[in-house]
Amino acid sequence: MNEARNQILQRIRAALTRDEGESMPPPRLGRHPRGPLPAFDGAALDRFVAKVQAAAASCELIGALAEVPEAAEAYLIRQGLTPKLVAAPALVSEALPWPPTLKVEYRRAEALDACALTVAAAGIAETGTLALVSSAGTPSTLNYLPEFCLCVVKRSAIVTHMEDAWDLLCAERNHLPRAVHFITGPSRTADVEQTLQLGAHGPRQLHVIVVTD
Q: Which of 185, 117, 120 is nearest to 155 (CA)?
A: 120
pLDDT at 176: 77
Residue 194 has what pLDDT?
A: 62
Residues 45-66 have pLDDT tens digits of 999 999 999 999 999 999 999 9
Are 172 and 184 within 8 A, CB to CB?
A: no
Where does the pLDDT of residue 130 fall: very low under 50, low under 70, confident under 90, or very high at 90 and above? Answer: very high
Residue 198 has pLDDT above 70, yes or no: no
Q: What is the mean pLDDT of residues 141-161?
A: 96
Q: What sign does the CA torsion over 98, 104, 107, 111 have?
A: negative
**Residue 196 CA, distance from chain mean position:** 23
pLDDT over 60 at 27, yes or no:
no
Q: Kindly state the average pLDDT of the residues 38-42.
A: 86
pLDDT of residue 41: 86
Q: Provide the whole-model pTM.
A: 0.82
CB atoms < 10 A from the CB of 149, how many?
A: 28
- 41-211 CATH fold: Rossmann fold (3.40.50)
Please state the domain extents for the chain.
1-33, 41-211
| pLDDT value, residue 18 | 53
Closest CA to 132 of 69, 24, 206: 206
Q: Which residues pair with 132 in a beta bridge?
A: 181
Summarize pLDDT for 177-194 with one digit per residue, the tens.
Answer: 889 999 999 876 656 666
The chain-wide mean pLDDT, for the chain, equals 88
Give the chain's end-to-end CA distance (angstroms, integer): 57
